[in-house]
Structure 1
Amino acid sequence: MKSILIAAAIALAVSILLTPYLIKVFSRQGFGQEIREDGPQHHKTKRGTPTMGGLAILVAMWAGYLGTHLVNSMSASASGQTPTASGLLVLMLTTSLGLVGFLDDFIKIRKARNLGLNKTAKLVGQFIATITFAILVLQFPNKDGLTPASVNLSFVRDITVVSFGVVGFIVFCYGMVAAWSNAVNLTDGLDGLAGGSSAMVFGTYVFISFWQFRYNCSSYAVAGCYDVRDPLDLAVIAAAAMAGCIGFLWWNAAPAKIFMGDTGSLALGGLVAGLAIATRTELLMIVIGGLFVVEALSVALQVAVFRTSRRRLFRMAPFHHHFELAGWAETTVIIRFWLMAGICCMFGLGVFYSEWLTGGF
């Protein structure tokens, strides 16, 4: 628990102090957000707001993670003194997708348009980052033979009867990362919506990962324990990410002084997928990240309905814009969607805990 608190404290401090510095630097450089022409008209007033603020979240995450291990290395009694394979691989995936998002944002700024990397380039970037992660995450077994991920599909634990095999897992992993990174990216359309929702998801994973650490099979080998390689280190990352999002939200809440851009949203989506894979909770994440799922589905349904009937199912997709065009104030939409995100997280946590109660304890 000490490691989790240290990571959160460091990440919060870095994020809340670094973000205003980025606002000044990006404003001087003219790194302002471009707004889509077919979006809600009142969003055009946001044109020129500094973007790429996701850098603050990424730096805060790394600072919280490395700072925690530095503090722990000075204490002989501290557990998890050195960075683990699971932690470093999840952070590698997150940072790689953040780099793809950074290039996307930078091109938007330089070309003064709302389109950065084309679809092919973005998918190639996501593909390289994900395939590297998927291959490495099946390596590095610990003394108990556990690797950071498993080729089995998982809910709260591995579903051993559903095994992908190595090649199938790599394909599945790519689908997971692409889906979650794009889902968070689609949610990032209102001030603080993606940041606040992500903070709730990562907060949920702080609890889940710590619970898996407390009842890990390596130290608590009874029916119902968790076969997760480095749960405490994953809890540290989740805590750092949660605090980084909260610190950024201080400046990103409506009216936003800076946007996270694709730099932040693609990175956070990658972290969502990475945590789900490394904690063996891939299907449970659909419940916990329910808001992101709804946002992505709204776009898919809008496209499908329009292509088949030439009619729009929603006034505009993603889903949050539908309510804006229905006359809801932006802050009303944000707060109510935060409530939806919180409900999904609480429900997912309840599912996790109820499964644990029937898991043999």
Structure 2
Amino acid sequence: MEVYILNSLLAASIALIISIILGPIMIPFLTRLKVGQNIREEGPESHFEKAGTPTMGGIIILSSVMVASFVVAPTNIQVLLALFIMLAFGAIGFWDDYIKVVLKRSLGLRAREKLILQLLIGLLFAIILIFYIDRGTDIIVPFTGYNIELGYLYIPFVILVLLGTSNAVNLTDGLDGLAAGTTVFVSIAFALVCIMTSNFELLIFAGALFGGCLGFLVYNKHPAKVFMGDTGSMALGGAIAAIAAMTKAELFLVIIGGIYVIEALSVIIQVGFYQLTGKRVFLMSPIHHHFELKGWHEKKVVIVFWIISFVFAAIGILGFRNIG
């Protein structure tokens, strides 16, 4: 086990170094391509100064994680599958970003197109998990130690986990460093899950994900020099969901990734309540914007959400340890 932990730390270090090195290369390149962030007119006024900041910086994270994983664990099927899911969802995000910021079509990919692509990737992922990796079709119920056998219902379940997580991380990516910092804590938690479930090769991927996000924060922390865009947020969501599925910790993802859940629920509640009553629950959703409009500085919102993310991750790990 010690060897795999060292390999995971090596992967994290490689990803960290690569992402830090890529920043000064990619940021000017993206700036020259004029792939600047579009700012919502109805958003907080403090965000208007961010207009033109290069986006699609998720390429930095994807590149660092991919290289680190290939260097340390080039042939492991679980690592390769996690990389595939990360890159596949990243490709959807990249296409969406490209349409929005390069082709100047503000809506990006149509929702139906994005959903179909995500469903196809999710279906392929489920089939590989069940029939090629022999993951089984059971899931662990948090804090109980019970396993529920889903049978073929596991296929739509894992597709829902993939789609829900990728889109929830996408919603979380609204403030400087928020999504990347949250994913740092989430990836550490899932690295520990990998250890507790003896998924030692997948531990290497989790380490690379941690390093890539931490390095990206050097340039994404407030005031951000680059945004990850859908390219990064959707890829991170896919990567986290892939780790959760392969460790049978899908339901723990709701706890460990609690910030993602809160962000997504705030949007669902806002839209649903407005459609029913014509009134809003929050000043603006996702919920991080609500606190900005309440007068919180962006850095305060991010730090508070990071702390909450750490707490959620700790609770999830303690719960998993108690049933391990």
The CA RMSD over aligned residues, in Å, is 1.5
- State the 1:10 CA deviation: 0.7
User: Is 1:354 the equivalent of 2:319?
Assistant: no
The alignment partner of 1:153 has SS state of: strand
- Structure 2 partner of 1:235: 203
1:324 aligned onto 2:309 = no
**Residue-by-residue CA offset, 1:220-278 (whole Å, 9 max, x unaligned):** xxxxxxxxxxx111110000000000000000000000000000000011111111100
- Which residue among 48, 72, 84 is the counterpart of 1:92? 84
Does the Cα contact within 8 Å between 1:54 and 1:260 map onto a contact in 2?
yes
- Aligned in 2, Cα 1:114/1:327: closer, same or farther, shift over 3 Å? farther
Deviations 1:57-105 (A, max 9, x none): 1111111111113xxxxxxxxxxxx622222111111110000000000
Q: Could you tell me which amino acid in structure 1 is paired with residue 319 of structure 2?
A: V
Q: 2:99 aligns with which of 92, 103, 107?
A: 107
SS state at 2:93 partner: helix
1:188 aligns with 2:173: yes
Could you state the TM-score of these two structures normalised by the residue count of structure 1?
0.85
SS at match of 2:250: coil
Residue 115 of structure 2: aligned partner:
123
| Distance (Å, rounded) in 1 between the aligned partners of 2:136 and 2:222 | 41
Query: Quick one: distance in 2 between partners of 1:334 and 1:150?
Result: 38
Q: Secondary structure of 1:341's partner?
A: helix
Per-residue deviation, residues 140-161 of structure 1 (Å, max 9, x unmatched): 35xxxxx2x321122369854x
Decide which of 10, 13, 20 is 1:6's aligned counterpart: 10
Q: How far, CA to CA, are the matches of 1:110 and 1:237 in structure 2?
A: 31
Q: What's the TM-score, normalizing by structure 2? A: 0.95
8 Å CA contact 1:200–1:341 kept in 2: the answer is: yes
* Aligned equivalent of 1:268: 236
Q: In structure 1, what residue type is equivalent to 2:68?
A: G
Of 33, 45, 49 in structure 1, the residue corresponding to residue 49 of structure 2 is 45
2:310 corresponds in structure 1 to 342
Q: After superposition, what is the alpha-carbon deviation per residue over 1:262-304, rounded to whole angstroms, capped at 9, x for unaligned?
A: 0000001111111110001111111100111101000111111
SS of 1:190's equivalent? Answer: coil
Structure 1 runs of 4+ with >6 Å offset:
none
Distance in 1 (CA, whole Å) between partners of 2:60 and 2:150 is: 36
Q: Distance in 1 between matches of 2:115 and 2:295?
A: 35
* Aligned partners of 1:90 and 1:274 also within 8 Å: yes
Contact kept, 8 Å, 1:152 with 1:158, in 2: the verdict is no
Residue 6 of structure 1: SS of its match in structure 2? helix
Larger relative helix fraction: 2
8 Å contact from structure 1 (residues 302, 312) kept in 2: yes
Q: What corresponds to 1:163 in structure 2?
A: 149
Aligned residues, how many?
Answer: 319
- Displacement of 1:186 after TM fit? 0.3
Aligned equivalents of 2:218 and 2:233: distance in 1?
17
Any conservation in 2 of the 1:32–1:51 contact (CA below 8 Å)?
yes
Contact 1:16 1:250 in 2 (8 A): yes
> Where in structure 1 are there 5+ consecutive unaligned residues?
70-81, 142-146, 214-230, 357-361
The one-letter amino acid of 1:64's match is A
Letter in 1 for 2:137: V
Counterpart secondary structure, 2:197: helix
Q: How is 1:10-159 mapped onto 2 (pairs within 5 angstroms)?
A: 10-69=14-73, 83-112=75-104, 114-141=106-133, 147=134, 149-155=135-141, 159=146
1: CA distance between counterparts of 2:196 and 2:281? 41
